[in-house]
Amino acid sequence: MLRFRTFRNSDPPAVVRLWRSRNGQPGLQQPVSVDLLEQLVFGKLYFDYSGMVLAFEDDRPVGFAHAGFGPNDANSGIATERGVVCLVLLHRDESRAEVATGLLEHCEAYLRARGTQVVFGGELSPIGPFIWDCMAAAKWRVCLIATPSRVNSLSPMVTCTTHGRF
């Protein structure tokens, strides 16, 4: 049975396994480790457990998504009026659109509940708060949505402004 829940302290190893399952995916830093994600994502003062959602089939993690906010104009805090779905990532063996759609919907609900008016898809500067440091693509920005052929049909709220090859 497919279920979704927010991040817990015990989840980093599962997130790493999901990330590593996409070895060879353009733009994803490999190898990734719990320590690297702790330094670049989980350890940030503005990391909110509610902004990271994991999908499970029974007890098996099948995907995760991460949403957050970039800095305000003064760079003194976050600006919640513009949200970012940083990444929607499914396990390499997972292909159900309902998993990607559910993760995206949970991220959108998280962002809307905090006053977001516009949601961007992917890590773009300056509003991408987390995952860009973990992406290896230096020449192009990447919008990594789990089912690339459905980027525009998953949600009308997400604006995927720039993206590379999938």
* 3-class DSSP assignment, residue 86: strand
Q: Would you say how long the chain is, in residues?
A: 166
- Mind listing the pLDDT tens digit of every residue in the chain (166 residues)? 999 999 999 999 999 999 999 888 777 777 889 998 998 889 888 899 999 999 999 999 999 999 999 888 888 888 899 888 888 999 999 888 899 999 999 999 999 999 998 888 876 666 667 655 555 443 334 444 443 344 344 444 444 443 333 2
pTM above 0.75, yes or no: yes
How far is the CA of 91 from the CAs of 32, 63, 96, in angstroms? 15, 6, 11
Tokens 């063996």 locate to 93
Residue reference for tokens 């049975």:
1
Residue pair 64/15 in contact (Cβ under 8 Å)? The answer is: yes
The span from the CA of 76 to the CA of 80, in Å, is 13
Burial class (CB in 10 A: 0-12, 13-18, 19+), 73: exposed
| Amino acid in the structure at residue 13 | P
